[in-house]
Amino acid sequence: MDRRSFFQKAGLATAGAAMATPAIAQVSQKVVWRMASYFSRSFETIYAGAEDIARRVAEATDGAFEIQVKAPGDAVPAERVLDAVRAGTVEAAFAPTSEFWEIEPTYALATALPFGLNPRMANAWFYQGNGKALLSEFFASQGLYGLPAGNAGTQMGGWFRKDIGTLDDLKGLKFRISGIAAKVLEKIGASPQKLAIDDVYSALERNQIDAARHLGPLDDAALGLYRVAKYYYYPAFWDAGPAIHALFNLEKYKALPPRYQAILEDACAAANTGMMASYDAKNPRALREIVASGTQLRPFTQDILDAAFAANNALCLELASKSPYFKKAYVDQLAFRKDAYMLTQVGDYTFDTFMVIQQRAGKL
């Protein structure tokens, strides 16, 4: 090959590389989003879920796709995050959609229904069942695109100033609780109270409320509720596997390059897994510390669970008669739940029951 031919070919190669540069730059275009969190920074593990998404997205795009996580009040108040992302005031939100169930009941189904799916089942329904497709159809009707982005695991039933021995003990009991669970508890005689989480401690201390639910041992210990309520009940039958969603303005999401959309999906899936692992690792120590403080653990009695189960079934049928989106997803989830618990009783339940017996015998 002569020098002239070589440089001519080299020149063509250089020109080709130069022509390809704008295409690469276009894929890596700078995007800056704001994600409004429903949770304050005091919810360290949950709040970190949104930060985890932002970090993963930034790392995968060399900082070209930046998501700025905003605590409540920094962009919009917690109760306004859904409105803000739908309006495009912010591009994204990080929230338990069940808090907005009164707008449309399907929002509750996207987080957790009382007596619903545990975390593993919820993920299976989202990722391998019809959950994601059904919820995507609903979210699109709301101007949203949503992805599971965290799960706090089965919650505790809350803090009570007095022992709850029977269903009658719930009658008229002023219970700080939100979401669809408030309606279920109202149906069985309790008196749900809407109260900001920052006001719960003082309300219990001053006898303004009789009980309050928060989350699980880790977050409850951080609030110090064991100092103002003696009894810690379990389980939160309304939150067996509460999913946290990353919600995106649908038009903003569609405008993203496909590569960014894929990165966002992967980041949310990783945050979903990471949050559950974090709670599973931290909650046992927190529960030991709570019990060591003198707190008395109590299970809800069978009559309370039975009454709540029946009340929830009636409520869901009522909601299904009013919302086609809820009905479609609810019927599908019921069928999925039935199969999931069929398998669970054969394997997981039998094994876990044996291991719990060993634990109680001091053999673990």
- How sure is the predictor about 3, in pLDDT bands with cuts at 50, 70 and 90? very low
| Percent of the chain's residues with pLDDT above 90 | 90
Cα–Cα distance, 134 to 158 (Å, whole number)? 32
Fold of 29-151+241-281: D-Maltodextrin-Binding Protein; domain 2 (3.40.190)
Q: Write the Ramachandran bin of 88: left for phi over 0, alpha for psi from -120 to 50, otherwise beta.
A: left
Mean model confidence pLDDT for the chain: 92
Higher pLDDT, residue 241 or 28:
241
* Residue 152 amino acid letter: A
Q: What is the 3-state secondary structure (H, E, C) of 166-213?
A: CHHHHCCCEEECCCHHHHHHHHCCCEEECCCHHHHHHHHHCCCCCEEC
Cα–Cα distance, 96 to 240 (Å, whole number)? 14
* Residue 43 amino acid letter: F
Q: Which CATH superfamily is domain 155-238+295-325 in?
A: Periplasmic binding protein-like II (3.40.190.10)
Residue 278 Cα distances to 281, 301, 335, angstroms = 5, 30, 30
Chain-centre distance of CA 284, in angstroms? 20
Cα–Cα distance, 28 to 185 (Å, whole number)? 50
Please check the confidence at residue 224 and state whether its pLDDT lies above 90: yes
Q: Which residues contact 151 (CB under 8 A, 6 or more apart)?
A: 119, 122, 123, 241, 242, 243, 244, 272, 275, 276
Q: For the stretch 258-276, what's the b/e string if a residue is b when 16 or more beta carbons lie within 10 angstroms of its beta carbon?
A: eebeebbeebbbbbbebbb
pLDDT, one tens digit per residue, over 226-253 is 999 999 999 999 999 899 999 999 999 9
Return the pLDDT at 28: 72
Please check the confidence at residue 314 and state whether its pLDDT lies above 80: yes
Please check the confidence at residue 196 and state whether its pLDDT lies above 90: no
Please check the confidence at residue 154 and state whether its pLDDT lies above 50: yes
Domain limits, the chain:
29-151+241-281, 155-238+295-325
Return the pLDDT at 113: 96
Return the pLDDT at 24: 44
pLDDT, one tens digit per residue, over 37-67 is 999 998 899 999 999 999 999 999 999 999 9
Cα–Cα distance, 276 to 254 (Å, whole number)? 29
| 40 and 223 Cβ atoms separated by less than 8 Å | no
- How sure is the predictor about 2, in pLDDT bands with cuts at 50, 70 and 90? very low
Cα–Cα distance, 242 to 20 (Å, whole number)? 46
Please check the confidence at residue 349 and state whether its pLDDT lies above 70: yes
Return the pLDDT at 197: 86
The answer, yes or no, to whether the previous bond of 299 is cis (omega within 30 of 0) is: no
